[in-house]
Structure formats: structure tokens, C-alpha cells
């Protein structure tokens, strides 16, 4: 049997041994964790890096596909179809750019994890080497992505230029439902309304102005009647139309009428002109100047009001056979086509 003193010594030794063992277990656990994390972090980082490589390869294939597609578009005869394809390509460019942006974000996260992992002193040399390899890959990805962004930007600009180089459409339907026909060739082309502004549309515009609300546009198949309005009312309509269409619409002047006549575009009714009436009679010129009266020019090619083609009329006058056309620059048609096709492509899945 052990003496109490011996028993105390044995207990103390056992206690020390126990404490040492516990320390060993703890350090082994810690080492195990470190090893586990060192093995798990490089593994997840590596996987993520591999995934980034796959994503990059997908983007490379997409860009190559787009480049191939771009070469086929100029062969399309239909201008609208060309624009649609260009717009689809722009959409794909947009997606690519978004992908690159997301990839850059992910890669930044991976790079941060690599940096954190490399701070661990218990990493094995193998693990450390893998981490460095991942970091190098990420760096390479970043450079290639930057290059791809530049390529996409350049290609997008070229697509934009290609769209811009396309001729304006021969006609278009405005937002207010006015059919506009192209007259002349660029850069002097412009659009003119196919017919005089209708009475129903004029009334709708007036109501819209008065009530400050969206116009109740007439149906496309509504019976047509020329707006029986004076010059001031016609000008107010053009102001409203310009605001509504977000483009400039005006009443044509004498030079435009001369162009229309050259192209054999002749309205059935007499139409208001934005030009002031000029006469050769000296007495009349002096009287107009003295009394400050403005006579507005009217183009009456079918001689509905008078025996002459160009006449002067008081701006307050209105007749059933006197209407007005509207004109707008060629860019309006181009912009309108762009707007409609962009919407169509944007709505595609």
C-alpha cells in the first residue's frame, strides 16, 4: 500500500500527465483544423478558380459567335431585320459585359481568400504553391477580361456606326398615328405627313392640351376629314406634337413646298405655309408695312381657294378646303425606328 505522501505524488504526476495530454489533444485539434482548413481553402479556391476558367471560356466562345454573326448581318436585305440583328448583338454585348463585371467581382473575392489563406503559417508548401497558382490564374483572367471589355466596346461602337449608316426608313408611323413619308435623299431628306392633319387628331390634341392629359387618339380606321383650322391653331398643334413625339414637327415653308412639287407630292387641299406672304405690288407692300398686318402664305396646288398656286391669306382664316401638313427632319424617322426596334428586342427573352 502507498503512503499518503506517495499517493499525493502519484496524483500530482497523474494530474501533470493529464494536463500535458489535454494540451496535446488541443494542439492536435488545432493542427487538424488548420490542416483541414488548409486543405479545404485551397480546394474551394481551386474549384472556384476552375469555375472562373470555365466562365471565361464560355465568354470567349460567345464573343467568337457574335463576331461570326456580325459578318453575316450586312448581307441582309431588309433594313429593319439588320437593325434587329444589330440590336440583338448589342444585347449580347451587354450580357457579356455584365458577366465580366460579375466575374471580376467573384475573382476579387477569390483573390482576397487567397491572400487570407497565405497568411496561415501552417500551410504546407504544396498548398502554398497551389494558392500562388490560383492567384496567377486570377491575374491572367483579369488581363484577358480587360482585353475582352475593350474588344466589346470597340465592336459595339462599330455596330452603332453600322446602324447609323443605314438609310432612314421610307416611312414611319408617329406615336400620334401620323404616317410620315420620306422626301429626298440624305443629307437633305425630311419627312412630310402623308396627308393633311385630320380633324379628329386635331381635336384630340386640343383636348389633351386643355386637360393636360394623354390624348385620346382617333382610331386608325376613323373617317378622315381635314382639320378646318387657322394658322395659329395649326402652329399650336405642331408645338403639342413636338412635345408629344419628343421631336421637332413644324409647318412647311415655301422652299419645302417647292421640293414637294419637284417630287410630285401634291396635297389635295390647300395647305398653310410657315412663310409670310410676299407680293410684288408696291402699294400693298407699303400698306402691309405701314399697318403691320401679316398675311400668311398658302399653297393651293389644286386651286381650291383661288386661281393661283401660292396665295396670301390672313392667319385667322379657316376653310374646309384649307388644312396643314407637318414636316420633321430625317433623324426623327431614324430615331423612331430605333425606338420601336429596341423595344421589340428588349422584350425578347
User: Are the beta carbons of 325 and 196 closer than 8 angstroms?
Assistant: yes
Residue 200 interacting with another protein (CB under 8 A): no
Residue 320 interacting with another protein (CB under 8 A): yes
Q: Using CA atoms, how far apart are residues 77 and 63, in angstroms rounded to an integer?
A: 25
Out of 169, 218, 252, 312, which residue is the one contacting another protein (CB under 8 A)?
312
Cβ proximity to another protein: between 208 and 235 the closer is: 235
Binding part of the chain for another protein, among 80-88, 304-312, 326-334, 336-344 by CB under 8 A, reads 304-312
Q: What is the closest distance, in whole angstroms, from the C-beta atom of residue 258 to another protein in the complex? A: 21
CA dihedral of 199, 204, 208, 214, whole degrees rounded to 10: -150
Cβ proximity to another protein: between 103 and 298 the closer is: 298
Out of 305, 335, 340, 345, which residue is the one contacting another protein (CB under 8 A)?
305
Q: Hey, which residues between 279 and 298 contact another protein (CB under 8 A)?
A: 282-284, 286-288, 290-293, 295
Q: What is the closest distance, in whole angstroms, from the C-beta atom of residue 160 to another protein in the complex? A: 51
Q: Using CA atoms, how far apart are residues 68 and 61, in angstroms rounded to an integer?
A: 11
User: Are the beta carbons of 203 and 226 closer than 8 angstroms?
Assistant: no
Q: Are β-strands 179-183 and 190-193 bridged in parallel, bridged antiparallel, or unpaired?
A: antiparallel
Residue 38 burial (CB count, 10 A): 20
Cβ proximity to another protein: between 63 and 295 the closer is: 295
> Which of 94, 101, 127, 96 lies closest to 113, judged by CA?
127
Query: Computed over its alpha carbons, how large is the radius of gyration of the chain?
Result: 39
Cβ proximity to another protein: between 222 and 293 the closer is: 293
> Which of 147, 143, 148, 187 lies closest to 168, judged by CA?
187
User: Are the beta carbons of 319 and 310 closer than 8 angstroms?
Assistant: no
Residue 268 interacting with another protein (CB under 8 A): no
**Distance, CA of 187 to chain centre:** 24
Residue 149 interacting with another protein (CB under 8 A): no
Q: What is the closest distance, in whole angstroms, from the C-beta atom of residue 299 to another protein in the complex? A: 14
Residue 323 interacting with another protein (CB under 8 A): no
Q: Is the peptide bond before 170 cis (omega within 30 degrees of 0)?
A: no
Q: Are β-strands 322-323 and 310-313 bridged in parallel, bridged antiparallel, or unpaired?
A: unpaired
Cβ proximity to another protein: between 90 and 297 the closer is: 297
Q: What is the closest distance, in whole angstroms, from the C-beta atom of residue 287 to another protein in the complex? A: 6
Please provide residue 329's backbone torsions phi and psi, each rounded to the nearest 5 degrees: -65, 160
What the block records as the C-alpha cell of 163 is 446602324
Q: What is the closest distance, in whole angstroms, from the C-beta atom of residue 251 to another protein in the complex? A: 18
Q: What is the closest distance, in whole angstroms, from the C-beta atom of residue 218 to another protein in the complex? A: 24
Residue 306 interacting with another protein (CB under 8 A): yes
Cβ proximity to another protein: between 240 and 272 the closer is: 272
Residue 311 interacting with another protein (CB under 8 A): yes
- Residues that bind another protein (rule: CB under 8 A) add up to a total of 23
SS3 279: coil
Binding part of the chain for another protein, among 111-119, 139-147, 175-183, 311-319 by CB under 8 A, reads 311-319
Q: What is the closest distance, in whole angstroms, from the C-beta atom of residue 329 to another protein in the complex? A: 31
Q: Using CA atoms, how far apart are residues 22 and 18, in angstroms rounded to an integer?
A: 6
Residue 227 interacting with another protein (CB under 8 A): no
User: Are the beta carbons of 310 and 297 closer than 8 angstroms?
Assistant: yes
Q: What is the closest distance, in whole angstroms, from the C-beta atom of residue 348 to another protein in the complex? A: 53
Terminal Cα-to-Cα distance of the chain (whole angstroms): 90
Q: Hey, which residues between 58 and 117 contact another protein (CB under 8 A)?
A: none
Out of 85, 200, 269, 313, which residue is the one contacting another protein (CB under 8 A)?
313
Residues forming contacts to another protein in the complex (CB under 8 A) are: 282-284, 286-288, 290-293, 295, 305-306, 311-314, 316-321
Amino acid at each position: 500500500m502507498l503512503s499518503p505522501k506517495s499517493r499525493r505524488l502519484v496524483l500530482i504526476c497523474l494530474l501533470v500527465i493529464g494536463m500535458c495530454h489535454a494540451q496535446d489533444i488541443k494542439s492536435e485539434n488545432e493542427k487538424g483544423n488548420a490542416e483541414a482548413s488548409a486543405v479545404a481553402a485551397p480546394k474551394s479556391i481551386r474549384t472556384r478558380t476552375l469555375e472562373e476558367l470555365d466562365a471565361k471560356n464560355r465568354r470567349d466562345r460567345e464573343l467568337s459567335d457574335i463576331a461570326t454573326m456580325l459578318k453575316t448581318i450586312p448581307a441582309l436585305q431588309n433594313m429593319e431585320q439588320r437593325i434587329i440583328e444589330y440590336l440583338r448583338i448589342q444585347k449580347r454585348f451587354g450580357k457579356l459585359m455584365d458577366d465580366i463585371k460579375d466575374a471580376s467581382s467573384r475573382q476579387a473575392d477569390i483573390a482576397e481568400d487567397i491572400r487570407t489563406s497565405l497568411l496561415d503559417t501552417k500551410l504546407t508548401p504544396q498548398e502554398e504553391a497551389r494558392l500562388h497558382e490560383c492567384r496567377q490564374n486570377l491575374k491572367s483572367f483579369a488581363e484577358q477580361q480587360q482585353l475582352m471589355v475593350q474588344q466589346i466596346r470597340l465592336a459595339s461602337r462599330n455596330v452603332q456606326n453600322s446602324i447609323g449608316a443605314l438609310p432612314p426608313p421610307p416611312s414611319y408611323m408617329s406615336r400620334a398615328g401620323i404616317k410620315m413619308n420620306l422626301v429626298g435623299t440624305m443629307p437633305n431628306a425630311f419627312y412630310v405627313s402623308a396627308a393633311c392633319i385630320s380633324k379628329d387628331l386635331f381635336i384630340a390634341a386640343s383636348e389633351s392640351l386643355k386637360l393636360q392629359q394623354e390624348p385620346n387618339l382617333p382610331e386608325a380606321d376613323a373617317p378622315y376629314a381635314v382639320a378646318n383650322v387657322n394658322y395659329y391653331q395649326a402652329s399650336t398643334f405642331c408645338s403639342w406634337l413636338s412635345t408629344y413625339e419628343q421631336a421637332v414637327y413644324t409647318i412647311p415653308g415655301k422652299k419645302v413646298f417647292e421640293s414637294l412639287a419637284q417630287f410630285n407630292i401634291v396635297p389635295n387641299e390647300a395647305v398653310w405655309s410657315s412663310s409670310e406672304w410676299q407680293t410684288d405690288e408696291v402699294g400693298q407692300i407699303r400698306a402691309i408695312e405701314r399697318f403691320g398686318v401679316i398675311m400668311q402664305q398658302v399653297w393651293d396646288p389644286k386651286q381650291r381657294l383661288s386661281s393661283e398656286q401660292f396665295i396670301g391669306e390672313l392667319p385667322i382664316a379657316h376653310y374646309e378646303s384649307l388644312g396643314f401638313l407637318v414636316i420633321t427632319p430625317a433623324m426623327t424617322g431614324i430615331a423612331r425606328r430605333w425606338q420601336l426596334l429596341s423595344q421589340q428586342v428588349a422584350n425578347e427573352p
